[in-house]
Structure 1
Amino acid sequence: MLHFLGYAGLIPFIFLPLCSLVWQLMLPAQALLLFQFYSCLILGFMAGAIWPVLYQAKQPAGRAIAAVIFPVFAILGIAILPAYILILMALLFLALRVYEYQTEINQLYSAPYQALRNQLTAVVVLCHLAFYLGYGNV
């Protein structure tokens, strides 16, 4: 069930760019805005997954800051760097995954969940980059 929910969470990342860049079911700006909001929501959700391991950490305050900094940077990016938000969001999703490896949080995940996280992160990053490249051509 968890794998199904993880993959289902990719639907907006794949569908929204297609709705504006390929099928023209909505204006690109509208699809981009929805994509950005959804991306921030999911990034916050994924960063929030760090919270349960805070109590197992030697430095819980640092991890608590890390857990909230990713979505905060995303929101600030939308406000300050709207032209580059898709690149920034791709980097934030990638940075979150790298952070999990560097802090050994990843080792607390089961092997199937680690594989799922790697797959989902790769698809999300690629969707952001594809939307950025495609949006520039609209």
Structure 2
Amino acid sequence: MKLINMLGYAGLLPFVLLPLAFHMQWHMQWLAGSAPLLQLYHLYSALILGFMAGVLWPVLYQQQNTAAENKLALLAVSFPVVSIISLALLPGYFLMLQALLFLLLRVAEFGSGINRHYSKDYQNLRNALTLVVVSSHIVMYAVLTLSAA
């Protein structure tokens, strides 16, 4: 397996393990409390969204400097900005907003034509990673909602 694929899938581990740890935290005394786990999940999610939006930059840099590319560059930087603002101002909605932002980032790659610059293997990797990350956010929201009830 290529290193990029291994790193991509390894990056999913916190998206899988943190919701599981959050769900199980009241059964296991050795785990940290739920607040630090949720904060860690939020921060990791914002970090990865910023990283994935940053992947657009090399493709944008190679294209001509047209108004469409300038708009796309502004769009690319808006993802992590909106993520951090929503974490600060709308923490109760953050998980669902993040799920939407990850999905919209992938949609933007298709809509802008950037996806055509990716190899088929990378396109498949991005699809799989996005599906798992979006699902993880929905699961974490459900776990958080059920634990609050």
- TM-score norm. by structure 2 comes to 0.89
1:116 counterpart letter in structure 2: L
- Residue 101 of structure 1 pairs with residue 110 of structure 2: yes
Q: Distance in 1 between matches of 2:140 and 2:110?
A: 27
Counterparts of 1:13-92 in structure 2, within 5 Å, are 13-24=15-26, 25-55=31-61, 56-57=63-64, 58=66, 59-92=68-101
Q: Which residue of 2 aligns with 1:7?
A: 9
Query: Which of residues 111, 117, 133 is equivalent to 1:124?
Result: 133
Q: Distance in 1 between matches of 2:104 and 2:58?
A: 19
Q: Distance in 2 between matches of 1:127 and 1:103?
A: 26
Q: In angstroms, what is the RMSD of aligned CA positions?
A: 1.1
Q: Which residue of 2 aligns with 1:134?
A: 143
The superposition leaves residues 83-132 of structure 1 with CA deviations (integer Å, 9 ceiling, x where unpaired) of: 01000000000000000000010010000000000000000000000000
Q: Distance in 2 between matches of 1:117 and 1:5?
A: 12
Q: Distance in 2 between matches of 1:89 and 1:43?
A: 8
> Identity of paired residues, percent?
50
Q: Aligned pairs, how many?
A: 138
Q: Does the 8 Å CA contact 1:3/1:116 hold for their aligned counterparts?
A: yes
Q: Distance in 2 between matches of 1:19 and 1:41?
A: 20
Q: Which structure 2 residue ranges, 5 or more long, are not aligned?
A: none
- Write out the 4+ residue segments of structure 1 that deviate beyond 6 Å after TM superposition: none
CA shift, 1:60, in A, is: 2.5
Q: Distance in 2 between matches of 1:122 and 1:71?
A: 19
Q: Which structure 1 residue ranges, 5 or more long, are not aligned?
A: none
1:28 counterpart letter in structure 2: S
